[in-house]
Chain A
């Protein structure tokens, strides 16, 4: 059985020996054993100390630059600038599109371009079919307005269709018994994508838009 250990705190000789060992660059094995477990007292690895000091220095430098000296832009400022840029981008894309798009171009250019119609169909199947049905019949008119019955509740011009998709159910309208459509232009579809969906619907309902056909 191991004997009672000496009191290390006051053990000057032990500490002296250890100091001597340290000075000589020798590894110190501490005298005290805990349930048979011994401990070396190796020096801390330099690269380890370096990472510790470097991280601490990084903290002081960053915090000083940011707050004490106010040299870095705040994230809310950065974000607001980004938001302004995105909104500008969106608005100019919409404007550009509207400049070059009217009832006639929608019917005669957009809806006749196979790749545009295919893109529109793809978006329709992902975003619109949930309510209006893959077959455009809107589950018999229960989940949304059918898009194949020749009726265009919010206006039958091609641009009206574009507008209802882009802006959603108009303000003041009760929608379909209170069901209101998402303003897709504000919820994930670009103006171009809205135009593609419009083109797909025109392509699917040629009779309704025949008057614009050139």
Chain B
């Protein structure tokens, strides 16, 4: 096929030009690369450790006198050996995820962005000071995270575990990065913005929005806080954040990096500019809507679930647009696949991206999700994205960059090839074993007979054990591959010499760039037509029964289509216009990214309120139960246990009545969980014991829980839960309760008015009652000695964390129907906004 090049109009006269030589700031790139490599190794090692802990109940290890103590030591310990409580699964998993996402991919992303942005703007980064500050603050954050997370200082929200002072530091550092980036854009000597920069812009503004909203919280102390959202509100906000952290931290910046480094490495033009445009805007607009697919079949209002599911399916094509543009750019360079490790890594990474983004929509379909959710399948899916896409993009970029930044050749091509194959096999083992483990366990759990389960939860673990070991092996291979990378690049650096690139550029006057005004952008055709369509869409998804909304949607849909067909050139010109100025581009991007979240979160926050709910309502925690809940959160129990019985037959049969929205309405933060490494706990609690004011008993009694926390394998040898024997020695933070309850009350949790002393006394009384019921059975207490009398032991045990945690366990799932003065169910207050489900329910009732 013939290739035509657009012919330039007339060139600008040379007299306008002001040539000068600039030096790029490549030092920061070198720093970020090594930070990424080092933290990557740490994060991956934490992952391998966490995965090994899950093999604790494997019969082979159970029976091995040599292996079991080692594994138990690294997962909390048994009664005989205290073990290391700082790295129990619930604490080490957040270390792993935060390190992999924010430390490894974060530093890698910054390296790629600083390198490519300077070159795409043809100017040095705006401020070296801000760059340096950015680098060191980011490393400080990582160190702070690595210290606080093992200590159990956490917010209890996935990928947002860091406590509030660190959150603030992250926000400041991110703003410094953003400021530096946009300042560089302003100073650029390039007329328009290349597609990589679009993705960087989307990353910076969207992550800012997500991070700030999801981390809105009120501190109760220097290290603890409660998020302002609760229950279903918090669930939606959290997964809006969690899903889009994947989108805008692990995907869009890496796509930007792909658009720069892949054509560079392949030395081929990008396949299709218009594909870039379409898939960029589609990703930015659609991704945000898909968050609720993490909450399918739960108590989340159904219209949100349906939006999450359907938008996830729509997301498939835009994601593959990125893959196609990457892979097809390699056309004509496929021969390099054999010789160039960089191309190998890039090609595999983009393929894994395609695979993960196909699997994602598939898992978002409600019926598939019923099988896959809460299982290892999800873990496998995530890792095909992180190991395959992120990890291999990182490796390809490092192998390409390091020789250039140190002005030398790569130390060893064959080592890089070895890394590729070891890593590749590692990923395949990882993903395949997780498919088998996840689907297998799910099928075993789903098996029912006459309305009862066939297998108990622990029994389903046995079948997965071999696959879990295979996963650990896959992860270890991948880690080994990265060690090869570290060694190879270290030797490359050693033989080379750090050099900052110099380039001659034509300096542009400020009057020459960014001339397009916001007004021009807004007034033109595509913006107006598409805006009309999007507003109608927002109106319709929130009021689907409204025929005006549907008519408006059709009108603007047809209008946009006709106008585009009639004059595609104006639309293309419009896009050229906005890529010529960073500000209108950024504003349009922000709105495109903000809409999906606003449509879902605002109505949900308005309607998920106690006074509006006409169903079950959570019973407020007593002070001790609240303290116990904070321990549950601190230990990271949500990493393995859900508190959400889904609207599925299998969940109902196994765990009891499905969870209602109101049952977790006062939970700051929500603890619905996302993975069942252990069983669901939503119905674990029970009623107040006869003759007691506050002590409750659920399915199991206090002593059972005591024994179970001390050593789960005492109850069932097949249990894979860590031992929490350290909780019997640590004291509950009773003194901190008054402040915590004040904050809870501030967040509209209806706590009765109590003085500080009353709160402490109440907590202590409840603790003593539970402690007595345990001591009654002559339990093994490590610190109890013969010369202590019984009341002394009871009093001392009452102060311990294990008692508070048991109080919380016994409260789980407690609900009431709010009554009015006559003892009849209370009439709910009118909702300020009727979501589609309520409207439909009302319409059905009227019929």
Spell out A's residues near B (CB within 8 Å): 1, 3-15, 17-21, 24-32, 34-45, 48-49, 51-52, 55-56, 58-59, 62-64, 66-68, 70, 74-76, 79, 82-83, 86-87, 89-90, 93, 126-127, 130-131, 142-143, 171-172, 174-175, 177-180, 182, 186-190, 192-193
Contact = CB atoms under 8 A, between A and B. Distances in A.
Given A36-B264, A37-B194, A142 B317 contact: no
B119 A35 contact: yes
B9 A13 contact: yes
B9 A48 contact: no
A52 B311 CA distance: 11
Nearest to B275: A44
Centre residue among B278, B453, B541, B704 by max chain A CB count within 10 A: B704
Nearest to A60: B553
B8 A31 contact: yes
22 contacts: A1-B19, A6-B10, A8-B192, A14-B8, A19-B569, A24-B4, A26-B1, A29-B5, A31-B6, A37-B264, A38-B269, A40-B269, A41-B274, A55-B310, A55-B317, A58-B313, A79-B658, A93-B451, A130-B715, A143-B777, A171-B690, A178-B776
Contact of B311 (A6, A28, A59): A59
B550 A64 contact: yes
A66 B307 CA distance: 12
Contacts of B120: 34-35
Contact of B456 (A11, A41, A126): A126
Interface residues of B, number: 106
Interface string B699-732: 1111110010000001110000000000000000
Contact of B316 (A4, A19, A51): A51
A11 B8 CA distance: 7
A193 B452 contact: yes
A177 B699 contact: no
Given A10-B9, A52-B282, A76-B302, A15 B569 contact: yes
Interface of B: 1-12, 16-17, 19, 116, 119-120, 122, 190-192, 194-195, 260, 263-264, 269-276, 278, 282, 297, 302-303, 306, 310-311, 313-314, 316-318, 320-321, 324, 328, 449-453, 456, 459, 503-506, 508, 541, 544-545, 547, 550, 569, 573, 576-577, 580, 647-649, 652-654, 656-658, 689-690, 697, 699-704, 707, 714-716, 773, 776-778, 836-837, 840-841, 843-844
Nearest to A22: B4
Contact of B6 (A28, A36, A179): A28
Contacts of B459: 126
A30 to B, nearest CB: 6
A187 B9 contact: no
Contacts of B773: 177-179
A76 B657 CA distance: 12
Contacts of B302: 74-76
A34 B541 CA distance: 41
Contacts of A45: 324
A180 B306 contact: no
Contacts of B777: 142-143, 177, 179
A31 B3 CA distance: 12
A79 to B, nearest CB: 4
A8 B701 contact: no
A17 B4 contact: yes
Centre residue among A32, A34, A55, A87 by max chain B CB count within 10 A: A34
Q: Which 5 A/B pairs are nearest by Cβ-Cβ distance?
A: A67-B544, A52-B317, A21-B4, A38-B269, A42-B272
Contacts of B547: 68
Contacts of B841: 74
A43 B5 CA distance: 15
Given A34-B190, A82-B652, A63 B7 contact: no
A70 B840 contact: yes
A66 B306 contact: yes
Nearest to B580: A9
Contacts of B191: 5, 7-8, 32
A190 B452 contact: yes
A39 B273 contact: yes
A39 B6 CA distance: 11
A29 B320 contact: no
B573 A9 contact: yes
Contacts of A192: 450
A143 B653 CA distance: 28
Nearest to A127: B456
B738 to A, nearest CB: 30
Nearest to A38: B269
B6 A17 contact: yes
Nearest to A90: B451
Contacts of B451: 86-87, 89-90, 93, 190
Nearest to B456: A126
Contact of A56 (B303, B314, B503): B314
Given A35-B122, A93-B450, A192-B450, A4 B6 contact: no
Contact of A59 (B192, B314, B506, B647): B314
Contacts of A86: 451, 649, 652-653
Centre residue among A17, A52, A186 by max chain B CB count within 10 A: A52
Given A18-B6, A37-B264, A64-B550, 15 more contacts: A4-B12, A19-B569, A24-B4, A31-B5, A35-B122, A48-B321, A55-B310, A63-B541, A67-B836, A74-B840, A86-B451, A90-B452, A143-B704, A143-B777, A188-B452
A101 B195 CA distance: 76
Nearest to A142: B777
A41 B314 contact: no
A180 B273 CA distance: 69
A146 B282 CA distance: 66
Contacts of B271: 40, 42
Contacts of B6: 8, 11, 14-15, 17-18, 28-31
Contact of A55 (B275, B316, B328, B657): B316
A28 B272 CA distance: 9
Nearest to B773: A178
Contact of B647 (A6, A25, A32, A76): A76
B544 A40 contact: no
Nearest to B9: A11
Contacts of B122: 35
A51 B269 contact: no
A9 B512 CA distance: 13
Contacts of A51: 316-317, 320
